[in-house]
Amino acid sequence: AQSVTQLDSQVPVFEEAPVELRCNYSSSVSVYLFWYVQYPNQGLQLLLKYLSGSTLVKGINGFEAEFNKSQTSFHLRKPSVHISDTAEYFCAVHNFGNEKLTFGTGTRLTIIP
């Protein structure tokens, strides 16, 4: 069975500081990995995804993530956050051969002016 762990439920960060949101997954087969963002009172939208190829993936709004197979991690990073990055971030994993996407419990990012 696949599972996704987001270790931090809430992360407060000062504006213009860097941020890392952590995501670990468990799977015995190859995976596709995703980060979704949910702005207040909205649905989720795709931030970035890893399907294959380069392990460093760049997404929208200056975010990037690195797939680390040996550590089964897919941490999300941004070098300098903005007030508009205030949102909830969800990591998700899709196992090959499984029809379902499994989501983590989410990390609420709060930007402090």
Interface with another protein includes 96 (CB under 8 A)? yes
Q: Helix (H, G, I), strand (E, B), or coil: what is residue 91?
A: strand
In the complex, the smallest distance separating the C-beta of residue 80 from another protein, rounded to whole angstroms, is 26
Q: Is 34 one of the binding residues for another protein (CB under 8 A)?
A: yes
Q: Using the rule CB under 8 A, is 22 a contact of another protein? A: no
74 binds another protein (CB under 8 A): no
Q: Give the three-state DSSP class for 85.
A: helix
Indicate the pairing of strand 31-38 with strand 87-95. Answer: antiparallel
Q: Does 105 participate in binding another protein (rule CB under 8 A)?
A: yes
What are the distances in angstroms from CA 54 to CA 35, 57, 69, 77, 98? 16, 7, 12, 16, 23
For residue 59, the minimal CB distance to another protein (Å) is: 12
CA distance 76 to 73: 10
Nearer to another protein, 30 or 80 (CB): 30
The residue assigned the tokens 């956050």 is: 81
44 binds another protein (CB under 8 A): yes
Q: Can residue 103 be called a binding residue for another protein (CB under 8 A)?
A: yes
Which range in 21-29, 54-62, 69-77, 88-96 contacts another protein by CB under 8 A?
88-96
